[in-house]
């Protein structure tokens, strides 16, 4: 099993992921994607979009604004309940999320329950706690011309939040879509975008960060059919994770979330858990949200959210099945499944066995020798040709050929193409396979 530290270090060494604001000493809970990271991330997102939106007749894409009318978060319950239990050490003033430093308690822990766990402060080791306070995780900001010295009343008027989930951007557009596209039910609205959570203690690399990218679908169904549609989404997501993302089936575990742990609006939730290097963690969630969100919007906006069935003419407010994936969580699942260490002829190597559809580069092209102009010129020809055909092709003429292979193994390039002296006479090249290291001779036109 890959160690998280090794993956973090590979990510930095090869330009997948850097700590956010690295040059200024970092900024907790933020990460920046480098050239290879953004390539992998984009491929993951594009495959999702293709699988769930482009290849299906019942899905439509949307892209809503990050800043939304604050009424959104009143109606959705986020202003009141999107909070974690915060506890402060009276000794050293460090603040923690109570349910993350004590065993056997959950997010709704009371002060009494927390004190009964006799947890010691992870920073100073003392056991001297203040009361549990609810800490709202939404990032607050001000919209419009609000000055730092404006009085409280004025300042309050401009308050807005960075969206804590992308879902509400979909729910608030439901009526627009129904009135313009006239979709047949069941239908899904899909969105990819940033969401922000002011985590008390971000940790575990990109698993728990303050800014993340979500891929969410709200699948609107006739309430009488929610169970079969829940099953449909469940099956589709296994297919996507296993066949398109290449995650090993054995590492994905379904967790039926018990009623007391479910979000208040959900009648059924399955968490898809994944065996990450640091243990089992949530990869994605699949929730039956009933008509909770649409009814809240109907009440708060005074606008009807009813849907009229075109064949039966029956009207009802649809219920919703919501599959929600954090891109960074999926990124780390893909990366940690691909991370492999092996030995070739007594030499250790690190290799990313990424599926071809996700590897940042499909091919690496190089001339056997850098100082032979005819080889370099021919290799450039092959490079241009492959780039036109595949797009994601890289060039490498640094160091010796062995070093180039090691580097390409580490960034997951499936095949290295080498132009040598034989190429000049028979138009064949050496193609070296990442996983087996086997080399074969292939006609340039067959690549």
Residue 137 · residue 197 · CB < 8 Å: yes
Question: Is the Cβ of residue 121 or residue 417 nearer to Zn ion in the bound state?
Answer: 121
**Contact status: 263 vs Zn ion (CB under 5 A):** no
* Nearer to Zn ion among residue 91 and residue 281 (C-beta): 91
Q: Which is nearer to Zn ion, 123 or 263 (CB)?
A: 123
Nearest to 394 by CA among 414, 371, 369: 414
Measured from the CB atom, the residue of 123 and 159 that comes closer to Zn ion is 123
Q: Which is nearer to Zn ion, 44 or 132 (CB)?
A: 132
Q: CB-wise, 200 or 386, nearer to Zn ion?
A: 200
Strand ranges, E, within 222-300: 252-256, 268-276, 279-290
Q: Which of residues 56-115 bind Zn ion (CB under 5 A)?
A: 89, 91-92, 94
Question: Is the separation of the CB atoms in 138 and 162 below 8 Å?
Answer: yes
Nearer to Zn ion, 101 or 358 (CB): 101
Contact by Cβ (8 Å): 268, 288: yes
State which residue, 101 or 364, has the beta carbon closest to Zn ion. 101
Least CB distance to Zn ion at residue 167 (A)? 37
Contacts of 304 (CB under 8 A, 6+ apart): 298
The least CB distance from residue 248 to Zn ion, in Å, is 41
- Give me the sign of the Cα torsion angle 18, 20, 24, 29: negative
Total binding residues for Zn ion by CB under 5 A?
7
Nearest-approach distance from CB 87 to Zn ion, in angstroms: 10
Q: Which of residues 264-303 bind Zn ion (CB under 5 A)?
A: none
Q: Which residues contact 90 (CB under 8 A, 6 or more apart)?
A: 128, 129, 130
Instruction: Measure the CA–CA gap between 130 and 89, rounded to whole angstroms.
Output: 6
Rank residues 47 and 91 by Cβ distance to Zn ion and give the closer one. 91
For the bound state, the minimum distance from the C-beta of residue 202 to Zn ion, rounded and expressed in Å, comes to: 19
Could you give the string, one character per residue 183-202, with x where binding to Zn ion holds by CB under 5 A and - elsewhere?
Answer: --------------------
CA distance linking residue 404 with residue 366, whole number of Å: 9
Distance (Å, whole) CA 146 – CA 154: 7
Cα 171 to Cα 320: distance, rounded to the nearest angstrom: 10
Q: Look at strands 415-419 and 439-443 and give their pairing.
A: unpaired
| Residue 88 beta carbon to Zn ion: minimum distance, rounded to whole angstroms | 9
Q: How far is the CB of 119 from Zn ion (least distance, A)?
A: 11
Q: Which residues pair with 315 in a beta bridge?
A: 308
Q: How buried is 298 (Cβ within 10 angstroms: 0-12 exposed, 13-18 middle, 19+ buried)?
A: middle
Q: What Rg, from alpha-carbon coordinates, does the chain have?
A: 26
Q: How far is the CB of 125 from Zn ion (least distance, A)?
A: 7
Q: Shortest distance, CB of residue 133 to Zn ion, whole angstroms?
A: 16
Q: Find the shortest distance in angstroms from Cβ 121 to Zn ion.
A: 3
Q: Find the binding residues for Zn ion in span 105-124 (CB under 5 A).
A: 121, 123-124
| Closer CB to Zn ion, 12 or 100, in the complex | 100
- Measured on CA atoms in the order 324, 328, 330, 333, is the torsion positive or negative? negative
CB of 386 to Zn ion, least distance (A): 58
What would the two tokens of residue 410 be? 């580490």
> Which residues, including other chains, have CB under 8 Å from residue 296's CB and lie 6 or more apart?
75, 76, 77
- As given in the structure block, the two tokens for residue 438 are 């086997």
3-state secondary structure of 221: strand
- Tell me how long the chain is: 447
| Cβ proximity to Zn ion, 111 vs 430, nearer residue | 111
* Residue pair 277/3 in contact by the 8 Å Cβ criterion: yes
| DSSP designation for 102 | S
Positions in the binding site for Zn ion (CB under 5 A): 89, 91-92, 94, 121, 123-124
């Amino acid at each position: 099993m890959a160690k998280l530290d090794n993956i973090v270090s590979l990510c930095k060494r090869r330009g997948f992921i850097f700590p956010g604001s690295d040059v200024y000493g970092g900024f907790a809970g933020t990460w920046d994607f480098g050239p290879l990271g953004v390539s992998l991330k984009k491929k993951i997102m594009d495959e999702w979009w293709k699988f769930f939106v482009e290849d299906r007749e019942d899905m439509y894409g949307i892209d809503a604004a990050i800043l939304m009318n604050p009424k959104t978060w009143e109606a959705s319950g986020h202003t009141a309940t999107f909070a974690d239990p915060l506890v402060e050490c009276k000794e050293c003033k460090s603040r923690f999320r109570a349910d993350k430093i004590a065993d056997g308690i959950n997010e709704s822990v009371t002060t009494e329950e927390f004190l009964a766990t006799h947890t010691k402060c992870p920073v100073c080791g003392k056991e001297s706690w203040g009361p549990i306070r609810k800490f709202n995780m939404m990032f607050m900001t001000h919209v419009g011309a609000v000055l730092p010295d404006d009085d409280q009343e004025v300042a309050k008027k401009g308050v807005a939040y960075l969206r804590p989930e992308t879902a509400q951007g979909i729910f608030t557009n439901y009526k627009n879509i129904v009135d313009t596209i006239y979709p047949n039910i069941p239908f899904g609205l899909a969105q990819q975008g940033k969401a922000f959570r002011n985590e008390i203690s971000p940790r575990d690399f990109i698993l728990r960060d303050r800014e993340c990218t979500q891929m969410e679908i709200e699948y609107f169904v006739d309430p009488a059919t929610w169970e079969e549609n829940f099953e449909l989404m469940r099956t589709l997501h296994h297919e996507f994770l296993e066949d398109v993302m290449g995650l090993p089936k054995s590492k994905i575990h379904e967790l039926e979330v018990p009623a007391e742990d479910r979000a208040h609006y959900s009648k059924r939730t399955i968490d898809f858990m994944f065996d990450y290097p640091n243990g089992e963690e949530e990869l994605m969630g699949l929730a039956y949200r009933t008509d909770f969100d649409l009814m809240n919007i109907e009440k708060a906006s005074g606008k009807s959210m009813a849907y009229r069935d075109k064949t039966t003419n029956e009207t009802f407010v649809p219920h919703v099945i919501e599959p929600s994936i954090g891109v960074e969580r999926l990124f780390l699942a893909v990366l940690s499944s691909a991370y492999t260490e092996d030995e070739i002829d007594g030499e250790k190597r690190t290799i990313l066995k990424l599926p071809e559809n996700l590897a940042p580069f499909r091919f690496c092209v190089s001339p056997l020798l850098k100082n032979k102009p005819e080889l370099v010129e021919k290799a450039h020809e092959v490079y241009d040709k492959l780039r036109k055909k595949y797009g994601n092709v890289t060039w490498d003429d640094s160091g010796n050929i062995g070093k180039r292979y090691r580097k390409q193994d580490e960034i997951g390039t499936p095949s290295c193409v080498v132009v040598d002296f034989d190429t000049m006479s028979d138009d064949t090249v050496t193609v070296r396979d990442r996983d087996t290291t086997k080399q074969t001779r292939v006609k340039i036109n067959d690549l």
